[in-house]
């Protein structure tokens, strides 16, 4: 679970990482990823941008959200 959770935590603390993720997958999708409201599409896009396994990324993101490692906002229904 450390891979995506660590990237998300780093991005929350480091504006440079958040900006880089936003440039790679779009600001809206990056914002949803960082605020715990990402769609599966958002996570797959982020995993491709970060060159990590997409299935593992989805599982790890869900775990990170479940344990509160990612701040949760209002869920959106838009797919990036």
Q: Tell me the per-residue pLDDT of 27-50, one tens digit each, with 9 for 90 and over.
A: 999 989 888 899 999 999 999 988
pTM over 0.85: no
pLDDT greater at residue 38 or residue 14: 38
Nearest CA among 52, 47, 41, 43 for reference residue 80: 41
pLDDT greater at residue 5 or residue 43: 43
**Residue with the two structure tokens 């440079």:** 16
The set of residues, in sequence order, having a beta carbon less than 8 Å from that of 78 and lying 6+ positions away, is 28, 39
């Amino acid at each position: 679970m450390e891979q995506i959770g660590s990237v998300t935590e780093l991005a929350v603390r480091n504006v440079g990482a958040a900006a880089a993720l936003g440039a790679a997958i779009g600001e809206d999708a990056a914002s949803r990823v960082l605020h715990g409201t990402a769609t599966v599409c958002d996570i797959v896009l982020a995993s491709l941008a970060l060159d990590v396994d997409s299935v593992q990324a989805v599982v790890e993101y869900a775990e990170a959200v479940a344990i509160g490692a990612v701040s949760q906002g209002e869920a959106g229904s838009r797919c990036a």
